[in-house]
Amino acid sequence: MSKANPHVESPPTPSGDDAIQPTAPDFVETPEVQPLSSEREHFPIWLYLICGFALFLAGSSFTGFEIFGQDLLDQGPGGPVLSSNSSAAAEAPASPMDLGKKVYEGNCASCHQGSGAGSPGSYPPLVDSEFVIGSKERLAAILLKGLQGPLTVKGASFGTSVMPAQESVLTPEKIADLMTYIRGTWGNTANAVTADEVNAAKTKFASHSQAFTQAELLKIAPNGPDPSDKK
């Protein structure tokens, strides 16, 4: 009997055997645990594939590989340079004809036209012109110092507008490329011009302070092209 409540009886204290019986009040059944297997679980094959692909991508960023022909990975520092059609074309040095064409389009085509045909009565043609395919020295003089007064080309007369000098605008190299272009296009077949030849003309005509006239030009090569033009 409890001292606080004499009418309530405390349950009897179970014996040691009774405490572990399923019928005991405090009995808790422990679930059975399967013993650990001694066999190793195999590493998933898909995880191997993912790791391998990740390593391939990491290595490719340093070696410059391409994936399926596309430049999807950077070449990395020190990696090999991968050539393509566009990059190979960009790396190829431009020829004097190509360079001369750019100079012509930027400085001459507005007057002499893209076809080199000029404008009747105003701007002389460059196609089959004796001043273009003739003496290189004379053509260099025109470009370096300019041209003024009327000019007769292939029997036709052209105006008196002044052609501006180009020696302060274009380098000897660009003038040589320009001369090479107009002497070798539109059916013209005269030989190329070098920067050394332009420099020689520049030295020779250094004291000529004004644009050349036709009479002065004809004195430069009265007997046709210079011997050097036939090299």
Cβ contacts of 90 within 8 Å, gap of 6 or more: none
Cβ contacts of 27 within 8 Å, gap of 6 or more: 20, 21
Is the pLDDT confidence value at 1 over 60? no
Neighbours of 139 (CB within 10 A): 28
Q: Do 164 and 146 form a contact (C-beta atoms < 8 A)?
A: yes
Alpha-carbon span 154 to 162, nearest angstrom: 20
Please report which helix (H) or strand (E) contains residue 157, including its range: strand 156-158
For residue range 100-121, list pLDDT tens digits in order.
999 999 999 999 999 999 999 8
CA distances from 24 to 11, 29, 79, 147 (A): 12, 11, 78, 127
Residues of the chain above pLDDT 70, percent: 62
Is the pLDDT confidence value at 74 over 90? no
pTM: 0.61
Alpha-carbon span 170 to 213, nearest angstrom: 21
- With cut-offs at 50, 70 and 90, classify the pLDDT of residue 37: low
Cβ contacts of 198 within 8 Å, gap of 6 or more: 140, 144, 172, 173, 175, 176, 179
Three-state SS across 72-110? CCCCCCCCCCCCCHHHHHHHCCCCHHHHHHHHHHHHCHH
Residue 205 amino acid letter: F
At 140, is the secondary structure helix, strand, or coil?
helix
Residue 43 amino acid letter: F
Domains in the chain: ranges and CATH: 43-77 (no CATH), 96-230 (1.10.760.10)
Is the pLDDT confidence value at 159 over 90? no
Using CA atoms in the order 157, 160, 161, 163, what is the torsion angle rounded to 10 degrees?
70
What does the pLDDT read at residue 72?
Answer: 45
The alpha helices in the chain, defined as continuous H runs, are 16-19, 45-63, 85-91, 96-107, 109-112, 130-133, 136-145, 172-183, 195-204, 214-220
Q: Do 220 and 137 form a contact (C-beta atoms < 8 A)?
A: yes
Is the pLDDT confidence value at 45 over 70? yes
Q: Residues 187-197, buried b or exposed e (16+ Cβ, 10 A)?
A: ebebebbbbeb
